Structure 1
Amino acid sequence: MPEALHLRRRGSGPAVLWIHGYTMDSTTWQPLWDRLPGWTHIGIDLPGHGGSAPLPPGLPLTALAGQLAEVAKETGARSVVALSFGSMSAIQLAIQEPGLVDNLVLAAPTLAGTPNEDSARVRYQQLSMLYRMVGPGEQLADLWMQSPPDIFTGTQRHPALRASLREVVARHTWAELGNRAMDALTSHKHTAEDLRRITARTLVVLGDEDMPAFVRNAELLRATVPDCQLETLKETGHLPLLERPDASAELIAAHLA
């Protein structure tokens, strides 16, 4: 098991790997786990998040996917659920190790090397400047959760969820802003040829109010991955699994079954 990755386990039954979004951690999955009994849920804290070791500069996406593959092998997990930034590494895992992943759920999918929202790029630059001025803490969390970009906009309908996510984001170290450790991860590019190598039964979950870049990613996955279906949740933003846990759990349960 990669020592750099912190795992959080709940439940019993067949194992499922869960990979969170940027600045979050595996604690965000608990509402979904409560709605999905009969599985061993294994939440992975990505490098630089939660209880995992810092993200080292220069770590390529292929190496991160290799770490996830080790976890999958040692836990026997053959299903993966991933959200937003986390879906980028889940996709790479399914590309690199197609024999390891039977079922794949990608919410608000992120593809490496595809155009991001301009507002997200601008906000990341603002976060970097604020980090240099004040360091990590609540100011960065509040700036990150502002719109645009509309990453957290959908949580405004769910005040309790928004408050709990703010607590998680406020714990984030933001060290990657100081050492540019994200550069190697995001320099990778997923091609159509790569996506066609995915053999897992794939479910893409999209909020109908998500940002255009993620809608394009979802459509590309549906058109390219050999066994892929797309489900869209109404009145839902960029974090569909968290904003709509009841509807999401129903979709995930049906897909994993």
Structure 2
Amino acid sequence: MTGHGLHLTESGSGPAVLWLHGYTMDSTLWRPLWELLPGWRHIGVDLPGHGGSGPCPPGLTLPRLADRLAQVAETTGARRVAGLSFGSTSALQLAMQHPELVHRLVVAAPTLAGTANEPAAEQRYKQLMMLYRMTGPGEQLTDLWMASPPDIFRGTESHPELRASVRRTVLRHRWAELADGSMDTLTAHRHTRADLRTITAATLAVVGTEDMPAFTANAELLRGEVPGCRVLTVPDTGHLPLLERPEAVAEALAAHLR
């Protein structure tokens, strides 16, 4: 299914929830969590350049992406949005830009646009660009991206089936943004404290106890700036809490989305 140039994956019936995945992933990884959340119409959005969606258009900015996501929300009737890692960046922008469309918001491994990133993650992105020029997409690029540090995928090491599934998904990623710079344009936006205070959605920030310090700090920043924001800390979990331990977060997510 396609909506406004974005590939959509649907499952279940009930009130609609938009799900926004992390960088180099796609909506197929949500399935185990969706199975633990019956009674909802789950709508996974493949972000531009990911999964079944087309390439990221040149010059696409985060506000323009939020407008496209708003069109999906309008069309599907979704008033609940959940985002993971880079997907949380897009979810936050949507909630800021179109508050009338986002009534309930979940941001896991919350990632604010324009804030300081983990130094190891910035270094890894540079390494990926160099390797892409030499080899193009494939196993070498995937294995470099999933290696620690940075500890983006470290938490999956305790869950072999999940790690294998994530690796298959990343292997499908086209990596065109390493050649055309489209990801740089998309992430050039900056979220300010004043921006965060405009969010009117009931917000839940989810962070793993083993996540990198920048994302724990982001969760605390959201708690302090977004009116009524709550933080759910998931024990023994890394950067991908919704994927690593779906059984540990499902009940809290269901309560919040209700």
- TM-score (normalised: structure 2): 0.98
State the match for 2:220 in structure 1.
219
Deviation per residue, 1:133-174 (Å, 9 max, x gap): 011111111000000000000111101100110000000000
Structure 2's unaligned 5+ residue stretches are none
Q: Quote the offset at 1:3 in angstroms.
A: 3.6
Could you say which residue in structure 2 is the equivalent of 1:246? 247
CA distance in 1, matches of 2:62, 2:16: 23
Correspondence 1:184 to 2:170 = no
* SS of alignment partner, residue 99 of structure 1: helix
| Correspondence for 2:150 | 149
Amino acid aligned to 1:229: R
Is the contact made by 1:58 and 1:183 (CA closer than 8 Å) also made in structure 2? Answer: no
Rounded to whole Å, the distance in 2 between the matches of 1:253 and 1:183 is 34
Q: Which amino acid aligns with 2:165?
A: S
- Separation of aligned partners in 2, 1:76 and 1:89: 18
Q: Deviations over 1:93-141 (max 9, x none)?
A: 0000011111000000000010000000000000001111011111111
Query: 1:248 & 1:27 partners in 2: Cα distance?
Result: 18
In the TM superposition, what is the alpha-carbon distance from 1:185 to its structure 2 partner?
1.3
C-alpha displacement of 1:2: 4.4
Structure 1: which 5+ runs fail to align?
none
Query: 1:99 matched to which residue of 2?
Result: 100
Aligned residues: percent identity? 67
Cα distance in 2 for partners of 1:59, 1:183 equals 10
1:159 maps to 160
Residues 57 and 182, structure 1, Cα contact 8 Å, conserved in 2 = no
Q: After the TM superposition, which parts of structure 1 deviate over 2 Å for at least 4 consecutive aligned residues? A: none
1:199 equivalent in structure 2: 200
C-alpha separation in 2, matches of 1:39 and 1:2: 19
**Structure 2: how far apart are the matches of 1:75 and 1:248?**
25
The CA deviation at 1:4 is 1.8
1:57 deviates by: 2.2
Figure out how many residues of one structure are paired with residues of the other and give that number. Answer: 257
CA offsets 1:190-245 (integer angstroms, 9 cap, x no match): 00110000000000000001001111111100000002000101110000000010
Q: Distance in 2 between matches of 1:161 and 1:182?
A: 26
After TM superposition, the score normalised by the length of structure 1 is: 0.99
Please give the secondary structure, in 1, of the residue aligned with 2:204. Answer: strand
What secondary structure is seen at the aligned counterpart in 2 of 1:119?
Answer: helix
Cα RMSD for the two superposed structures:
0.8
State the alpha-carbon separation in 1 of the partners of residues 172 and 185 from structure 2: 23
Distance across 2 between alignment mates of 1:89 and 1:20: 10
| Local SS of the residue matching 2:43 | strand
- d(CA) in 1 for partners of 2:124, 2:137: 15
SS in structure 2 at match of 1:231: strand
Match of 1:52, SS?
Answer: coil
Aligned to 2:132: 131
Q: Which residue of 1 aligns with 2:57?
A: 56
SS at match of 1:104: strand
Rounded Cα–Cα distance in structure 2 between residues aligned with 1:3 and 1:204: 28
Q: Which amino acid in the other structure matches residue 56 of structure 1?
A: P
